[in-house]
Chains A and B, each alone.
Chain A
Amino acid sequence: MNEVCFKNLDKKKCYSLKVYEQSGGYSIWRKILKGELTPEEIIDELKASGLRGRGGAGFPTGLKWSFMPRNASMQKYVVCNSDEGEPGTCKDRDILRYNPHAVIEGMAIGGFVMNASVGYNYIRGEFMEPFKRFEGALKEVYKAGLLGKNIGASGVSFDLHTHLGAGAYICGEETALLESIEGKKGQPRFKPPFPANVGLFGQPTTINNTESFASVPEILSQGGQWFADIGVENSGGCKLFSVTGHVQKPSNFEVPMGIPFKDLLEMAGGIKKGRKLKAVIPGGSSTPVLTAEVAMEMTMDYDGIEKAGSMLGAGSVIVMDDSTCMVATLTRLAHFYYDESCGQCTPCREGTGWLYRVLKRIMDGDGKADDIDLLLGVSDKIMGNTICALGDAAAMPVESFLRNFRPEFEYYIKHGKSMVKG
């Protein structure tokens, strides 16, 4: 446990440059500045590590970095996604608070590999404490002469800036995030073109999640194979899981991929006293909900969770006990997507409101017999027909809640009250 991003978690002032360097921090960056590492070597190492994007989509990081036209002469950018807004997710906040230097070093390494001399870390606007930590860390590295132009006459340049959000979940979507850095509203762009070709300010750009960047220095220090071996097939390394909801000790855990869900549940102190596990959302609110039985058999890796019928997402494990009303829970999630839709594309703009209103009506006791079909129909029409994945994210919970807990919805519609809460 706690081998990569949380390596120094238990040390005093673990966020300081001193502590970071004492545990081997910036050794890779210094090697790069000395010209002892090539971009190709780094990409190979990352590919070997099996590191997959920690922002939710799970795209192999080494491969992503290799897509950048590193030899093209124009300005290129690396961008870190610290917008963390997926309900149930709160790991990047802790990385920024307790290990900001790993993010900085990871981004700098990325900048070197992709020949991008400027980076931005997009931090959600509410994260003022993490923002200040990160800014503090930046000051330290600049002072130490580790960032800037032509750093220590190495010929390598990297400048890193923060950009603060202002309250919009959609800015976590990578192209909405780029729009936001450009000072616009966070409306996702349609793809292609992909950011690697046309990204920030129209220039080639690579975007990774905070945890992805923070994992890079340790992977390169210890070797890709070392990292891969921590995890399981197809899911290299360890990963931060935010375990929240009805558990005794909600917390972030950095554990090897492939760990059984029931072990993770135990680490979080298990279900609250006198209660029984009812349901689990394993990867953040956008991933399908699972029943207790299925969850208890599941291992926490990409394939394991997929086999169980959901997705690893950002590793945000939301645990629900038998006191949970699934109608109320889904209504809350539907409200979230309705609230956060950017509004540009028709199915999501109109459909998320429709879903929410139907659920709200059911909650108000005015449900109709065909509402369940209506909900399924509307979510099916949103799925796959939108510019960005928020549309899918809004549709998937509806489908999975109804599939796994349909009787609860039928009961609510029929009796005008919750089967669980009465």
Chain B
Amino acid sequence: MADIEIEIDGNLVSAKAGEMLIAVTDREGISVPRFCYHKKLSVAANCRMCLVDVEGAPKPQPACSTPINEGMKVHTNNEKVKASQKAVMEFLLINHPLDCPICDQGGECELQDVAMDYGSDVSRFSEGKRVVVDGDIGPLIQTDMTRCIHCTRCVRFGAEIGGIMEMGGTGRGEDLKIEPFLAEGIQSELSGNMIDVCPVGALTSKPFRYELRTWQMNSVSNIARHDLTGSNIVTQTYKGRVKRIVAKDNDSVNETWISDRDRFSYEGLAHENRLLSPQIKVKGEWREVSWDEALEFAMRGLTDKVLNTGEANKLGALASNTATLEEFHLLQKLLREVGSENIDYRLNIKDLENTVTLESNIKLAGLEGVDHVLIIGSNPRLEQPMINHRLRKASLSGASIDVINVMAFDFNYQLNSENIVTPNQIAFMLAEVLKLILQASNAEIPEALSKIEASDTAKQLADRLLDADNSVIILGEHMVNNPQASSIAQLINEIAQQTNSTTLNISATANSMAGDLTEFVPGKKGLDANAMLATGLKAYILLDVYPHFDFHHPAQAIKALSKKDAFVISMNSFKDEAVAQYSDVMLPIASFYETSGSHINIEGKVQSFCASVSAPSDVKPAWKVLKVLADLLQLPGFHFANSMQVTSEISNQGHKQNVSNKKLDIKVKRSVNVIWQKSPYAVDALSRHASALQATKIGQMHSASMNKATAKKLEVAENDNYLGVPVSIRESVANNCVFVNTNKPIRGEL
């Protein structure tokens, strides 16, 4: 729209026609008080606080809902404005408790800030204040609705950003009450953002409640490492402990929002299950020892077992995907330095030769602008909440979204089609789509596809991709162990090339991009995770591995690691029975927010962070532990004084995942497939130890879903145990498929 000029407080300002006045004043740094306006939410214009004087209008106008026009003259600070704003303040305060000193929002309350400007004499109200009874709305958010000023930011957040209306305004007039449907409470995966948008102390963090005032805490920026977004956050700390986490604006990453996982996982830091001191196993007994002793013991173990015997190739390193970029780098460097390439972070994949390698070549913000999306094998809402948020935005601005999944999930946007397909048939379906696309451009049809007769579904999927100008194909976690995984990735890659689509590979999560970039994968002579365990090595260094949750086949892995002659060094931040069983040394390492390092997000953005707090006294950052271990082993090139020096050593050339060139397999098989998906709040040790998160409905997800036919085949009934998980029979699951979504260790055989 055209630029026009308006006058604000006597100064000429240029702006776009049709913009709301408040957008202009905000850009110009002119302060206009507001409660209901929020730049990322729709305009409600209900608080009436942002009143400004527009020349020619008899009464002050709300800046948030007054579109500007050429020649407009505005005063934001004259007597008329002040009187109106004061009047609104007076109305807001008549029913608001004036006990800021005991309110949880005290010191960061927008109402308190504005009230200060008007002095304390605003109220002549003496008719008795409204008291609102609070209901329990769930484990994450505490309400104190007597403080609510009915700005409806939280309501709009749910309807517009969360994609599910959770808060609403019930009753009317003075009885208007902001609350969720109490029988349901607040359940969504982004709900904590309502705490951030609430301008007063009506919605606060339940785990944090009443602990401290804001001004007593230190605020340190940090990066959340639970998913592929790397959301920017502020950790608020007090006396060396993280007390609360809030979102930090970064439009190209997480905008203003963070997931509940990012917000509430910090609770795990203070869990009693932390590993707090170095221990060594002597004659089968664990002994707490000093760091010097423990590292000496570790060094000896390595030299005796493999290095001095010239069997460096019998040493392996395995890491969880939450490791920092620097930790990945140092551990792989250590291994390669001593002559081993047995390195891997991909612990949950059954066949590393047959899995979904595919590059991602679209930016997070770019996702908003696509006109078509094809999702394959993902429940992005729970698995990658911020990526899902971008997809929702795309959908709202008109993008069509097709899904090929093994079961129906609860999407918070409209789907063009939701195709529930048996895992064994997904490769075939993609092959159909590819064939149609090749036919459309009169390209040669490869032999492998020649016999295919495409279905109507495939035709619709293909047409969409062909019609779209800017489409993205998304490959999700549920496909990593598909029997035809590599074919699926190949087909997607080919379809993307043919249709000029971008691809987004969200099949691995957390900081796995950093694992790739640092080549924390086997070198040519090295063994991959499965091969290491199958062969049985003589020594292992494990970085924050929790076998029951991290390995594709926990029992097998534990058995392999427990072999008598294997020397296992485990670095963990939490205690774990199985780790204690197979390890010879346990080294306590710093968890999230206790260490400096870097996260690499899906678009390859390297985001470094400092420690927000120091780790408990005898707990050390893993990068330091690795550096000292390397020093003890007298390896060259580990003279790092801090993690930044490590970071700068890593060349960031961007990492490309090459698509496998194995022979295409699209044959439809009939066996039952089990897809094991950790429930959203069980993805890493920190989240698993965050009690409020665990208490939520999402945290409690624990079921093996299958349809009736599959249940019959497997001879199980509703609520029976299958692989240690209760069976849930639903017809929304594809045939011959069991979708296990669990927050507990997997114990059975796969």
Contact = CB atoms under 8 A, between A and B. Distances in A.
Interface of A: 168, 170, 185, 190, 192, 338-347, 349-354, 357-358, 361, 374, 377, 381, 383-387
B51 A344 contact: no
Interface in B30-46: 43-46
A175 to B, nearest CB: 12
Contacts of A351: 91
A179 to B, nearest CB: 12
Contact of A343 (B49, B51, B124, B175): B175
Contact of A384 (B59, B92, B175): B59
Contact of A381 (B44, B87, B128, B172): B87
A341 to B, nearest CB: 4
A344 B94 contact: no
A168 B87 CA distance: 27
B62 interface: yes
Top 5 A-B pairs, shortest CB-CB distance: A384-B59, A343-B176, A381-B87, A350-B91, A341-B173
Contact of A387 (B46, B91, B171, B174): B46
B173 A385 contact: no
Given A190-B62, A192-B67, A342-B172, A347 B94 contact: no
B125 interface: yes
Contacts of A352: 173-174
Given A347-B91, A387-B46, A353 B172 contact: no
B493 interface: no
B95 interface: yes
A169 to B, nearest CB: 10
Contacts of B51: 385
A343 B43 contact: no
Given A339-B173, A354-B125, 17 more contacts: A168-B172, A185-B169, A190-B45, A338-B174, A342-B173, A343-B174, A346-B47, A347-B88, A349-B176, A350-B174, A352-B174, A353-B173, A354-B94, A383-B59, A385-B48, A387-B45, A387-B46
A296 to B, nearest CB: 31
A352 B173 CA distance: 9
Interface string B134-175: 000000000000000110100000000000000001011111
Interface residues of B, number: 36
Contacts of B88: 346-347, 381, 385
A381 B92 CA distance: 12
A260 B116 CA distance: 55
A381 B84 CA distance: 7
B58 interface: yes
A384 B94 CA distance: 20
Contacts of A341: 172-174
Contact of B58 (A344, A354, A384): A384
Interface string B43-77: 11111110100000011101001010000000000
B127 A381 contact: no
B262 interface: no
A385 B60 CA distance: 7
B127 A345 contact: no
A244 B125 CA distance: 36
A349 B127 contact: no
B90 interface: yes
Nearest to B171: A343
Contacts of A185: 169, 172
Contacts of B49: 346
Given A381-B87, A384-B58, A385-B84, A338 B47 contact: no
A38 to B, nearest CB: 33
B172 A346 contact: no
B127 A361 contact: yes
A353 B43 CA distance: 26
Contacts of B44: 190, 344
A343 B48 contact: no
Contacts of A383: 59
Given A190-B45, A385-B51, A346 B173 contact: no
Interface of B: 43-49, 51, 58-60, 62, 65, 67, 84, 87-88, 90-92, 94-95, 124-125, 127-128, 149-150, 152, 169, 171-176
Contact of B46 (A344, A374, A381): A344
Nearest to B172: A343
Contacts of A358: 127
A350 B94 contact: yes
A385 B172 contact: no
A349 B94 contact: no
Contact of B65 (A190, A344, A354, A384): A190
A261 B45 CA distance: 41
Nearest to A347: B91
Nearest to B130: A353
Contacts of B45: 190, 345, 387
A381 B91 contact: yes
Contacts of B174: 338, 341, 343, 349-350, 352-353
B124 A374 contact: yes
Contacts of B60: 384-385
A338 B173 contact: yes
A358 B174 CA distance: 15
Contacts of B43: 190
A357 B127 contact: yes
15 contacts: A190-B65, A192-B67, A341-B172, A344-B176, A346-B91, A346-B149, A347-B88, A350-B95, A353-B127, A353-B174, A381-B84, A381-B87, A385-B48, A385-B59, A385-B88
Contacts of B65: 190
A340 B172 CA distance: 8
A339 to B, nearest CB: 7
A350 B94 CA distance: 8
B726 to A, nearest CB: 38
A154 B175 CA distance: 51
Contacts of B47: 345-346
Contacts of B67: 192
Contacts of B46: 344-346, 387
B118 to A, nearest CB: 13
A286 B467 CA distance: 57
Contacts of B48: 345-347, 385-387
A34 B745 CA distance: 77
Nearest to A360: B127
Contacts of A343: 150, 169, 171-176
A340 B95 CA distance: 19
A387 B172 CA distance: 15
A345 B58 CA distance: 19
Nearest to B65: A190
Contacts of A192: 67
A351 B60 CA distance: 18
B398 to A, nearest CB: 14
A344 B36 CA distance: 11
Contact of B127 (A344, A346, A354, A386): A354
A351 B174 CA distance: 9
Contacts of A381: 84, 87-88, 90-91
A344 B149 contact: no
Nearest to B170: A185
A344 B125 contact: no
Contacts of A340: 172-173
A361 B126 CA distance: 11
A190 B174 CA distance: 20
Contacts of A344: 44, 46, 150, 152, 169, 176
A85 to B, nearest CB: 14
Contacts of B127: 353-354, 357-358, 361
A284 to B, nearest CB: 20
Contacts of B152: 344
B669 to A, nearest CB: 48
A192 B128 CA distance: 36
Nearest to A192: B67
A385 B124 CA distance: 19
B150 A385 contact: no
A346 B94 CA distance: 11
